[in-house]
Amino acid sequence: MFTIDASSIDRSLPVPVGKQLYGLLSYVLSFGDMPKGAKLQSVRQLAAELDIAPMTVAEVYKQLRSDGLVEIRPGLGAFTVYEPRRGEGVIAPASALSADIDSLLEKAEALGVSPISLSSMVQAQAKLRKPRVHLNIIFVGIFEAPARDYIEQIRPTLAANDVFTLLTFGQLHESEEARIQCRDADLVLTFVHREVELRGLVPDANILSIRFIPSEGTRQALALLDPRTRVAAVTQLKDYIAIMRPSVREFAPHISDITVAWSYADDLANIIARCDVVIYASGADHVADLAGANKRCFEYRHSPDPGVLENLLAPALAELRHNKIADAERLVKVANIASRRTKRR
């Protein structure tokens, strides 16, 4: 993840330095790998490093606290809050199945079945087998098109018969029905930096925020750019305009000519015309149309962190499924007891 220094604040951009700093810090806290409890620079230290007013930094820290991304400890400073949890439920899939997997491998070896063949057999059987219960899961995204891709990347972590629904924050703000859907779902997934907003909209929902990282395709596309390339980096959200340049340079440090712009800037057409490659943030799809077929253009896309899917989401789903099965069995027992009592009468 890129570092924040004096060059990160671009005073030529039509966005106040405070808003730029907020976008930079919230991006690093949401999409980076900072562990929980890591201490941020003090207000005065960061203000001096970036050459901005301490009051501006203090206001940004307060906003980050309101967003649930940092905690302020009186007399100590600001500390990170989010960290992917390890399996804390009654089921930890990998460790709980370890002995069974060893036993299955030994049996396969005795029968002359290779580990690769065994893996294929297990995957084929898993596709045919339906779990005893299904989970109703909702992903709340910002823009519909990329959110559909995120769902497809998350789906392999789910069971075959789980129901996975997409909603957007726009729908939740406008529709009571959408908010009820979230409230009634077994689990609602969203981005780390939008969790507080989501909890404000549906306080009774079972919400789990997951971390996203730049996608493999994005990283490769940036790394392969010619050093002489003139890049236009365009964002849809003004709050995050300052992250575009360091985000590009994180995977393309050899690129020096980067012009940052807002997707609805008056001079965007001129900026695109002067550049060789256009890179746009998710949600700014119309920029590709503006660039035209003859200009290379690609999206700076993120994807769910595989480690978070494995270590956070998978155990959470296993625990939900276990509890749902246990609840169903308890209901059956209660119904059987009631039936027997009725017959005795």
Task: Please name each of the domains of the chain with its CATH number.
Answer: 6-80 (1.10.10.10), 100-129 (no CATH)
pLDDT for the residue numbered 89: 42
pLDDT value at 199 more than 50: yes
pLDDT at 102 over 60: yes
Confidence of residue 10 (pLDDT cuts 50, 70, 90): confident
Q: What is the mean pLDDT of residues 241-247?
A: 90
| Amino acid (1-letter code) at residue 209 | S
Q: Which pLDDT score is estimated for 87?
A: 41
Asked if the model's pLDDT at residue 309 lies above 80, the reply is yes
Closest CA to 56 of 85, 18, 21, 91: 18
CA separation, residue 216 to residues 27, 245, 251, 252, 306 (Å): 18, 18, 11, 13, 11
Looking up tokens 């891709």 gives 149
Token reading at 144:
């519909």
What is the mean pLDDT of the segment spanning 40-52? 92
Report the greatest alpha carbon distance in the chain: 89
Mean pLDDT taken over the chain: 86
Q: Is 299 helix (H, G, I), strand (E, B) or coil?
A: strand
Do the Cβ atoms of 166 and 151 come closer than 8 Å? yes
**Tokens 């789906």 sit on residue:** 155
Nearest to 78 by CA among 67, 64, 97: 64
Task: Give the list of residues 6+ apart from residue 27 with CB closer than 8 angstroms, or none.
Answer: 193, 240, 243, 247
Residue range 21-43: mean pLDDT, rounded: 86
Report the distance separating Cα 301 and Cα 310, nearest Å.
21
| CA–CA distance, 148 with 165 (Å, rounded to integer) | 9
For range 175-193, the mean pLDDT:
95
Bridge partners (DSSP) of residue 323 are none
The count of C-alpha atoms lying within 13 angstroms of the C-alpha of 202, restricted to the half-sphere facing its C-beta, is 31
Here the tokens at position 308 are: 């978070």
Give 42's pLDDT tier (boundaries 50, 70, 90).
Answer: very high
User: Which residue stretches of the chain are H helix?
Assistant: 17-31, 43-50, 54-66, 93-96, 98-110, 115-128, 144-154, 169-174, 176-184, 195-201, 216-223, 244-251, 268-274, 286-291, 306-308, 314-344
Quick one: which of 118, 134, 240, 259 has its CA closest to 186? 134
* Cα 303 from Cα 306, distance rounded (Å): 9
Q: 0.85 exceeded by the pTM? A: no
% pLDDT > 70, the chain: 87
Whether residue 304 is predicted with pLDDT greater than 90 in this model: the reply is yes
pLDDT band per the 50, 70, 90 thresholds, residue 97? low
Q: Which residue has the tokens 């003859």?
A: 294
- Whether the pLDDT of residue 299 is over 70: the answer is yes
Per-residue pLDDT band for 202 (boundaries 50, 70, 90) equals: very high
pLDDT digits (tens, 9 = 90+) for 116-159: 888 877 777 765 555 568 999 999 999 999 999 999 999 999 99
Percent of the chain, pLDDT > 90? 52
